[in-house]
């Protein structure tokens, strides 16, 4: 499948809210905080039309024990999927189109901080967001643009911005 990015859609915020509510309800006896992350959470930039959600829980074992609740919502359980301390789920609709990614970490995970920092940094630094958006568009327009090549092409940018984003985020959080 080739990579596709689209202009920001203001409806993504509402889609996130609806899905976050469904996830919280699926974990009826487990407290899960759900954040909107990724490019669909950053107004004005190109994004793959897949809503990225980040969940925070006290203990990942509760996620493992409740993964069937997410499967009933249409999620596929992927385990850690290459990132220690994460539980990853992806949702595919009835047409076979991936619509949501859910990344769940324990409270205090540095992965939570880096995702929220990157999102908030780009939301408040429009010049960096514009640079990232242009890169995403260029990568998706390449004739051989697969999702893997697209992700690999974004990685150097994200890796270079993340330290500044995390430092900035810690300052505004008073840490």
pLDDT > 70? residue 39? yes
Please report, for the chain, how many H helices and E strands are present, in that order: 6, 5
Helix 110-124 to helix 126-141 angle (10° resolution) is 100
pLDDT band at 4 (very low <50, low <70, confident <90, very high): confident
Per residue in 81-104, pLDDT (tens digit) is: 999 999 999 999 999 999 999 999
Q: Mapping DSSP to helix (H, G, I), strand (E, B) and coil, where does residue 9 land?
A: coil
CATH of domain 11-173: 3.30.460.10
The domain segmentation of the chain, as residue ranges, is 11-173
Element (H, E) at 31: none
pLDDT for 143 = 73
pLDDT for 2 = 60
């Amino acid at each position: 499948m080739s990579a596709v990015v689209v202009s920001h859609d203001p409806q993504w915020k509402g889609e996130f809210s609806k899905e976050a509510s469904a996830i919280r309800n699926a974990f009826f006896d487990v407290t899960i905080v759900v954040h909107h992350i990724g490019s669909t959470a950053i107004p004005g930039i190109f994004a793959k039309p897949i809503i990225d959600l980040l969940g925070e829980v006290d203990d990942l074992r509760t996620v493992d024990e409740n993964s069937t609740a997410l499967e009933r919502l249409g999620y596929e359980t992927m385990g850690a999927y290459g990132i220690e301390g994460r539980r990853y789920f992806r949702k595919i609709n009835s047409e076979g189109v991936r619509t949501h990614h859910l990344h769940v970490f324990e409270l205090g995970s540095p992965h939570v901080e880096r995702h929220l920092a990157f999102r908030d940094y780009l939301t408040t630094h429009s010049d960096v967001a514009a640079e990232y958006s242009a890169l995403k568009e260029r990568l998706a327009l390449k004739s051989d643009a697969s999702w893997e090549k697209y992700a690999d092409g974004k990685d150097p940018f994200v890796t270079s911005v993340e330290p500044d984003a995390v430092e900035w985020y810690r300052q505004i959080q008073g840490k």
